[in-house]
Structure 1
């Protein structure tokens, strides 16, 4: 049985940039630059407003709080990542192969991303809530993205028509856990080991 979700964060993350109004786009561009250069702790809404060339009130009208602004910035970068991930795995013929390679690409992209990677390295305690206890929108957006791919694979590959959301959420949570705490018996910096892990433990979830 399928049950679709209607998460506003998911919609914002997957929506193309053209759907944002010009001022919101300018604010998010400024926030991305500000947070990348100085991190979250040392950045204020006033800093973002000044960089965007708008008033503090204008920022709050669209994003209500600094937390909401950070969340919106992360979600927009997630949407861009989804496009890159699609391109990276598009030529692979099966969902198992796309899951394995997608896991490796996700780890690589996140570590190398100027904002995501920088925050994880320099301010892990600050970014942690946005990926865990306050990370509902980000986690939902990523799980919804993966759920859509799993559903299409069910149709294309003749898999049982079961709700793929639990599998998608489990895969996302596993990936996030390795990003937050990469130390362990598996060297996730080694792409061959990451690929072997995904092939052994994540791909079988598709038929669990």
Structure 2
């Protein structure tokens, strides 16, 4: 890690702690600078204003999320089960992410748009991560010919909804969430008992 990257990480680590303590709307540059052991101008130089800090944290967390998701995606087994387990993992990861949950609870007007009106940023990152893996699965004949971007978008919309929108069907427990995702996949697919 270069010196510049190290300074940026110190700023983001300090910012994460400050946001967890004070929330997304608190003015934090001075506190972040103090916690990181840097000057305020250095914080601005390496990350920017408060909006840029939040965006940088989001991008860092997305990168960490993809690294955590990789082992789930590469588990052996039928594609359908791997998809279900990936959705359950991602939703569980988001539900246990302290900074995301604090934002959804305390400042939803600032956080929810990242999953809705500003979702293109996350979708672009998701496409960059998932599309090559789906393409490889198609090439290896583990997956039918599909537009991988459409599949990523469909999965994203399901996952974003499960993360941000309270529902009436219990999904707090991974087993309940797994049942819901399985049921969603079964919609419109006739079972052998109903096939003429």
Bin for the TM-score computed over the shorter chain: 0.7 to 0.9
Q: Is the 8 A contact 1:39 1:119 kept in 2?
A: yes
Q: Which runs of 5+ in 1 are unaligned?
A: 1-17
From 154, 174, 191, the counterpart of 1:191: 174
Partner of 2:22: 38
Corresponding residue to 2:109 among 110, 125, 128: 125
Matches for 1:90-105 after TM superposition, within 5 Å: 90-105=74-89
SS in 2 for 1:96: helix
Matched, 1:201 2:190: no
Aligned residues of 2:12 and 2:56 also touching (Cα < 8 A):
yes
CA distance in 2, matches of 1:155, 1:37: 47
1:16-95 correspondence to structure 2 within 5 Å: 18=1, 21-95=5-79
Structure-1 separation of matches of 2:174 and 2:54: 30
**TM-score normalised to structure 2 length:** 0.82
Q: Distance in 2 between matches of 1:115 and 1:158?
A: 36
Three-state SS of the structure 1 residue aligned to 2:98 is coil
1:22 Cα deviation from its structure 2 partner? 1.5
1:56 positional shift = 2.0
CA distance in 2, matches of 1:92, 1:120: 34
Unaligned runs of 5+ in 2: 188-196
Deviations 1:39-82 (A, max 9, x none): 21124223222221222222222333221210110111121122
Instruction: Tell me if the contact between 2:104 and 2:111 (Cα under 8 Å) persists in the aligned partners.
Output: yes
Counterparts of 1:110-189 in structure 2, within 5 Å, are 110-184=94-168, 186-189=169-172
Consecutive aligned runs of 4 or more in structure 1 exceeding 6 Å deviation: none
CA contact (8 A) 1:71 1:130 kept: no
Closer, same or farther: CA 63–151 of 1 in aligned 2, 3 Å: same
CA RMSD of aligned residues (A): 2.5
CA distance 1:94–1:25, shift in 2 (3 Å): same
